[in-house]
Structure 1
Amino acid sequence: MLTYFLVACDRLDEKQEKKLRQNLPELQAVLQAYVEANEAANVTLINDCESDDCEDWQLGISQPVKKHLHLNFPVNLFNSLATRFNIDCEVGYIADDVREPVSYFGKDEGPGEAFLIAEYLGL
């Protein structure tokens, strides 16, 4: 199953957007480092932040998973990003090039749990 993890860039207030814009280079660097460290697992970077409107941004990763244990690393990564940058995250699966969200976690939603996310994904 191809999963994705995104930084939630929509429904942000002005203060949150400003902070996200300030932290964007660092977020991109952390995600790029994760992708490079996990090339063998076919992790790819989602980095579409060209729009002037944060709501249109798509920033995160996609990663194939077969077992719920494969979710531990990306969930831990995005939990740490949520804590460090005060953001929320969206997780879901990709089918026919369409992203289907199954859960949100982070600053406002609380920490993500790999086991529960695996249940939502049907793993």
Structure 2
Amino acid sequence: MLVYFLVACDRLEEKREKKLRQSLPELQAALQAYAEANTANDVTLINACDSEDCADWELGISQPVTKNIHLNYPVDLFNGLAKQYGIDCEVGSIENGEREPVSYFGAHEGKGEAFLIAEYLEL
């Protein structure tokens, strides 16, 4: 199964959007480093942040998973980013190029748990 983790960039109040814009370079660098460190696991960076409107941004990763234990590292990564930068995250599956969200977690949504996300993904 191909899963994705995205930084929640839409429907943000002004204060959170400003903080996201300020943190964007650091978030991009952290996700790029994670993707590069995990190329053997086919982790792919999602980085489409060219629009002036941050609601249109897509920033995150995708990776194939076959067991719920494979979710531990990306969930830990995004929990850390949420704590450090005050972001929320969307996680879901990708089928036929379409994203299907199953859960949200982060600074405002609460800490993500790999086991529960695996249940939502039916892993």
TM superposition score normalised by structure 2 = 0.99
Residues 12-34 of structure 1 deviation map (CA, whole Å, 9 limit, x = unaligned):
01111111111000000000000
**Match for 2:91: what amino acid?**
V
What is the root-mean-square deviation in Å for CA atoms of aligned residues? 0.4
Match of 2:87 in 1: 87
**Match for 2:77: what amino acid?**
L
1:57 and 1:26 map into 2 onto residues whose CA distance is: 15
Residues 12-57 of structure 1 deviation map (CA, whole Å, 9 limit, x = unaligned):
0111111111100000000000000000000000000000001000
**Match for 1:72: what amino acid?**
N
Number of residue-to-residue matches in the alignment: 123
1:53 matches 2:53? yes
Q: Share of identical aligned residues, percent?
A: 73
Match of 1:119 in 2: 119
Q: Determine helix, strand or coil for the equivalent of 2:50.
A: coil
Q: What aligned pairs does 1:65-80 form with structure 2 within 5 A after superposition?
A: 65-80=65-80
2:80 and 2:109 map into 1 onto residues whose CA distance is: 14
Q: Give structure 2 stretches of 5+ with no counterpart.
A: none
Q: Determine helix, strand or coil for the equivalent of 2:69.
A: helix
Match of 2:41 in 1: 41
Q: Give structure 1 stretches of 5+ with no counterpart.
A: none
Give 1:108 deviation, angstroms: 1.0
TM superposition score normalised by structure 1 = 0.99
Give 1:10 deviation, angstroms: 0.6
1:9 and 1:82 map into 2 onto residues whose CA distance is: 13
**Match for 1:121: what amino acid?**
L
1:114 and 1:13 map into 2 onto residues whose CA distance is: 28
Match of 1:14 in 2: 14
Match of 1:27 in 2: 27
